[in-house]
Structure 1
Amino acid sequence: MTQQQANNPLHGKTLEAILNELVAYYGWPELGTRIRINCFNDNPSIKSSLKFLRKTEWARKKVEDLYISTSFVK
């Protein structure tokens, strides 16, 4: 493992796993309030959210930052 990956709190986590944990913890309404993007507020689903987040770097960064700040990272 490289030093860069040793310090990466998201190493080994897929975007889908991160999103599933956030939805389970917050629920769609609260997640949509914390990160104001339409895929969380208008007919949300894991599939549509993943499609958007994979194409939109700023939105993915917000999701990853919320995941880290929520203390899921061990």
Structure 2
Amino acid sequence: MDSPAQPRNPLHGITLARMIEDLADYYGWEELGQRIPVRCFTHDPSVASSLKFLRKTPWAREKVEGLYLYTLRQTRQSD
């Protein structure tokens, strides 16, 4: 069974790793840790450690997704 298309979902097709990489590139790890104060962003941050934590912690993943969507909106408005 095919999954239904999600043309209006901006997160469709975006992996969690891609979100973390994009946010870290845009804000840097230090500012990312200030915006979302979780240990995987503030102490020896890496994509691998962040993925491990965020896959187990739904509330933190929601914050990352929310910041990613906010950042997408802001960058699209400034273009």
Q: Would the TM-score normalized by the shorter structure come out above 0.5?
A: yes
TM-score calculated relative to the size of structure 1? 0.89
Gaps of 5+ in 2: none
Q: Distance in 2 between matches of 1:58 and 1:8?
A: 19
TM-score calculated relative to the size of structure 2? 0.84
**Aligned equivalent of 1:52:** 53
State the number of aligned residues: 73
1:25-64 alignment to 2 at 5 Å?
A: 25-64=26-65
**Aligned equivalent of 1:13:** 14
Gaps of 5+ in 1: none
Higher relative contact order (CA 8 A, sep 6+): 1
- Aligned residues with identical type, % of pairs: 55
Residue 71 of structure 1 deviates from its aligned partner by 1.5
* Runs ≥4 residues deviating over 3 A: none
Query: Among residues 2, 27, 33, which one is paired with 2:4 in the alignment?
Result: 2
Q: Rg: which structure is higher?
A: 2
